[in-house]
Amino acid sequence: MAITQAMWIHGHSMQIEYQDRLKSVWRPGFYVRVVGKRDTTNWFHFSIPTTVIVRDKRQMIDSVMLRFRARHTRASVTNVHIYDGERRIATYDGLDLSPRNFDLSRFNVPGKPDVLWGIGISVGVRFAGTNDEQNTLEFSSAGCDFSLFQSVRLHFKVLTNPNIAIETMLDSMRQVFEPRGFRVLHLGTEDIDHPELDVVDVGGCRRGSTTDEQEELFVNRNGVGNNDIVVYFVRATNPPSNGCATYPNGRPGCVVARGATRWTLAHEIGHVLGLNHVNNNDRLMTGNGTGYITNPPPDIVNSEINTMSNSRLTVDP
């Protein structure tokens, strides 16, 4: 993982939103201890020191961390909201975290967005105990990991929605790409009306060779940059397949059919970035069909990472 900085702040700095809902606050040398009033909720806030520019590049936020402990399961963290300035960039609700030791809890930020203004962590808590011991939480520190990833920039053009939700495919792609240092940016989705291309002829689906229908479909690149990749979601390909990643010169993209698996999008983008099939069902680029992947999320090996890094379609932030 391409972590460039890790910034932490001590629990002493924690800001309390509703002071009147607490019985006591104690700030010794090594944490902040709060005792909540029975049957109350509250929000605690941490401001993380944020270096926005490193090596003349804007950093991205990878994840935030909390170190805290509870005296009892009736005092718990229920929400973690992550902000960049006034913009909320990640939300974790419905939590019920009451670690008995100072454990590190990590919360990833989907999409690894650019850092613009400064990172804040807001922590929702609940106190449901019957005495002070049961209503005690102690916060040691809060932190944030920052990254400098290369980016894969995607646009979606939809003729027919796939059986598996596009958001599920996108999330699955991020599970594969982001741990290897590639941020997946979804820059927009557009519905396009071309029923004559909804079953698109892909011929032999060989790199460097495209059909007339692929040439016609891949013209649809309004609002797309030269190094951006367009994914066309269609009802089917002819001959039938889950997808095809051959594209006309200067119009990088692929097609994904309605019956595709959750890993098809990542697989076809791998082809667009220069990767070839392998005979290994542990790998994203298995040539046996992504429906047979055996260890989700599937692997990308170092040689493939190098190929992707050298593609003109993986751009620096």
- Quick one: pLDDT at residue 178? 86
Q: Tens digit of pLDDT for each residue in 144-184?
A: 999 877 889 999 999 999 999 999 999 999 999 988 888 89
- Quick one: pLDDT at residue 58? 79
Q: Is the pLDDT of residue 2 over 70?
A: no
Provide, rounded to the nearest whole percent, the portion of the chain with pLDDT above 70.
98
- Quick one: pLDDT at residue 144? 97
Instruction: Indicate the angle between helix axes 166-177 and 264-272, nearest 10 degrees.
Output: 60
**What is the distance between the alpha carbons of residues 4 and 213, in angstroms, rounded to a whole number?**
44
- Provide CB contacts within 8 A for 204, sequence distance 6+: none
Of 15, 47, 58, 62, which is closest to residue 119 (Cα–Cα)?
A: 47
- Quick one: pLDDT at residue 55? 67
- Please tell me the total number of residues recorded for the chain in this structure: 317
Higher pLDDT, 110 or 292: 292
Mean pLDDT of the chain: 95
- Quick one: pLDDT at residue 155? 98
Q: 242 and 259 in contact (C-beta within 8 Å)?
A: yes
pTM of the model: 0.66
- Provide CB contacts within 8 A for 55, sequence distance 6+: 148
Q: Which residue has the tokens 């030791």?
A: 101
At 268, the amino acid letter reads: E
**What is the distance between the alpha carbons of residues 296 and 32, in angstroms, rounded to a whole number?**
40
Burial of 306 (0-12, 13-18, 19+ CB in 10 A): exposed
Q: CB neighbours (10 Å) of residue 176?
A: 22
- Quick one: pLDDT at residue 148? 78
Q: 228 and 269 in contact (C-beta within 8 Å)?
A: no
Cis peptide before 248 (omega within 30 of 0): no
3-state secondary structure of 217: helix
Q: Is the pLDDT of residue 1 over 60?
A: no
**Mean pLDDT to the nearest integer, 287-315:** 94
Residue 241 pLDDT grade (very low, low, confident, very high; cuts 50, 70, 90): very high
Q: 109 and 62 in contact (C-beta within 8 Å)?
A: yes
- Quick one: pLDDT at residue 57? 72
- Quick one: pLDDT at residue 54? 77
- What the chain holds in terms of domains, given with CATH numbers, is 3-147 (2.60.120.260), 150-315 (3.40.390.10)
**What is the distance between the alpha carbons of residues 59 and 5, in angstroms, rounded to a whole number?**
9
Q: 253 and 215 in contact (C-beta within 8 Å)?
A: no
Q: Is the pLDDT of residue 257 over 80?
A: yes
**What is the distance between the alpha carbons of residues 284 and 293, in angstroms, rounded to a whole number?**
7
Q: Which residue has the tokens 């396009």?
A: 192
**What is the distance between the alpha carbons of residues 234 and 256, in angstroms, rounded to a whole number?**
6
Q: Tens digit of pLDDT for each residue in 84-113?
A: 999 999 999 999 999 999 989 999 998 888
Q: Tens digit of pLDDT for each residue in 17-43?
A: 999 999 999 999 899 999 999 999 999
**Mean pLDDT to the nearest integer, 2-11:** 89
- Quick one: pLDDT at residue 112? 86
Q: Tens digit of pLDDT for each residue in 30-86?
A: 999 999 999 999 999 999 999 887 766 778 899 999 999 999 999 999 999 999 999
Residue 317 pLDDT grade (very low, low, confident, very high; cuts 50, 70, 90): low
3-state secondary structure of 266: helix
Burial of 236 (0-12, 13-18, 19+ CB in 10 A): middle
